[in-house]
Amino acid sequence: MDAATVRERASDLPTEPGVYQFLDGNTTLYVGKAVDLRSRVRSYADPRSARIAGMVERADGLDVAVTDTETQALLLEANLIKRHQPRYNVRLKDDKSYPLVQLTEHEFPRIEVTRDPGEAATVFGPFTNVGVVETVVKALRETFGVRGCSDYKFAGRDRPCLDYEMGLCTAPCTGEIGEADYLADVESVTRFFAGETGVLADPLRTEMDRAAAAQEYERAANLRDRLAVVESFHGSGGEAVSGRDDPERSVDVLGVALRGGDATVARLHAEGGQLVERDRHPVAAPTSGDGDATDDADAIPAVLAAFLVQYYAERSLPDAILLPEHHGDDEVAAWLDAADVAVRVPGTGREAKLVELALKNARRNVGRRDESAALADELGLSSVERIEGFDVSHAQGRAVVGSNVCFVDGAASTADYRRKKLTETNDDYANMRELVRWRADRALAGRDDRPDPDLLVVDGGEGQLSAARDALDETGWDVPAIALAKAEELVVTPDRTVDWDDDAPQLHLLQRVRDEAHRFAVQYHQTVRDDVSTVLDDVPGVGPETRSRLLRRFGSVENVREASVEELQSVEGVGEKTATSVRNRLGGR
């Protein structure tokens, strides 16, 4: 679209508030708001920067929507940006991947870390460090005995499970605790997440002192480390927030960090003078026509202005917002002023310290590549937050085992790892089919307490993927699956084979899943293999330990058979006489 066309289109527009969209076919390139649509759109005939000039040149269409007020235009712009994700706008990415803690709505509520809470659940978070959250949840369960089991495990029990024996649950399933006492413990958990750190810290400290007095130093050290996590859970920097007598009981503090085309906004939230929540939000910065990030001098104000509208358009506004610098958007300022939100850029004092804390939080995250989002885009999936990897390991059909590992948001979730002994057959495809079918059957029958994954990744090529898809088709478990072959690192999908660049972030994520599935399978195979009886048990001088060393060294009985006497003697505990006995017994060459 050239300058003359822009002026011509603008001349037909009203002089009222509204929102405009520059289009490339059916693709929205840019969304903007205006107090005067005609004047604002006409300004694009003489673009302010090379980035905007490239956008206008690429556009072949223009769409507008008139609104009654400037505030309506502001909120409509935010909604359209979220819906269309235009490449030339600053865009707040979805923050749903942060872990939450929920107490379910059951008669005996369950506590769990989740990213998909139930509608009626009591939810706390989001939090940015899943490891810390899991440590705190375990400490809460040990202290208050709130159950963490699935509904399938909870229903119809006649005796308590292992969690009860380990002190992680008070077993309401079998009546070991009454409903009133159990709900009192749930209330204590709620108070902790509401900010009463002492509810959990005090009993942990008492138990630590008791363990130290009893000279149980290892347990005391573990409790000390757990106590440190608990005491820091609600964050530092609370002293920088105004006191409880301040009329502003709800305060948000924002920090922004930029690196290349990446931006992160960190938000700290204080209630009643106490810092109770912190989170970080990746933001897609506007790009130039060739995909490079804009280098406009007002990048941080633009990110702040976009974040304020897009984040708070669907959330309650706080009493005050502290910023590292002015956002510079008059419409945003008018909207916040009309909502009685105080916006400040503190220079010194307690509030400035809190802004600096937010900036440190933002800098910790900026520049991290969003591997999951890149993978989802390449595969045409809406999300791949949760990936499960599968691999099979065996020794020529003996000690056949399968691994099922899990990654959430690009990080290994070891609590969700599973493994299984499989039918002994020297057929990798049949083994993979059995492994995936086992997972699918458990999921469909409600016997697996893990959420369904967004993607399955099998270690192998077309054959392994075909076997996995056969299992999915036979069971009706609707989960997409792909394979990653080791030799050339080719990604095999149901309809194509892809050779991504070595530095592609989505490939790095798949490699981590594949390699971890392989490691976990081999580890389990070695354990099972060492436990099974072999022909080596009949060899004089070969006991269980020597047998295990031989199998670890050579990988299988067949490889032991092929080894020379000298090679056998390289194994600890195998002398010339034993090596000769092994050769004679196995009939080696």
pLDDT tens digit string along 440-471? 999 998 888 888 999 999 999 999 999 999 99
Q: What pLDDT, in 10s, does the model give residues 367-380?
A: 544 678 788 888 98
| pLDDT exceeds cutoff 80 at 237 | no
Are 240-365 and 375-529 equal in CATH topology?
yes
User: Which of the listed ranges 1-10, 236-245, 282-291, 341-350 does the model predict with the highest average pLDDT?
Assistant: 1-10
| Top CATH class, 533-586 | mainly alpha
- Say which CATH topology domain 3-89 has: GIY-YIG endonuclease (3.40.1440)
Sequence ranges of the domains in the chain: 3-89, 100-231, 240-365, 375-529, 533-586
| pLDDT exceeds cutoff 90 at 59 | yes
* b/e map 406-426, b = 16+ CB within 10 Å: bbbbbebbeebbbbbebeeee
* b/e map 25-63, b = 16+ CB within 10 Å: eeebbbbbbbbebbebbbebbebeeebbbbbbebbeebe
The pLDDT score that the predictor gives to residue 241 is: 38
Mean pLDDT is lowest, of 99-108, 322-331, 553-562, for 553-562
Among 437, 434, 398, smallest CA distance to 525 is for 398
- Rounded to an integer, the average pLDDT of 409-431 is 89
| pLDDT exceeds cutoff 60 at 82 | yes
Banded pLDDT at 584 (limits 50, 70, 90):
confident
**Mean per-residue pLDDT over the chain, rounded:** 83
Banded pLDDT at 293 (limits 50, 70, 90):
very low
This model's pTM is above 0.75: no
Which residues of 315-380 form beta strands (DSSP E)? 320-322, 342-344
- Say which CATH topology domain 375-529 has: Nucleotidyltransferase; domain 5 (3.30.420)
The pLDDT score that the predictor gives to residue 286 is: 57
Mean pLDDT is lowest, of 9-18, 167-176, 255-264, 303-312, for 255-264
Decide if domain 240-365 falls under CATH 3.30.70: no
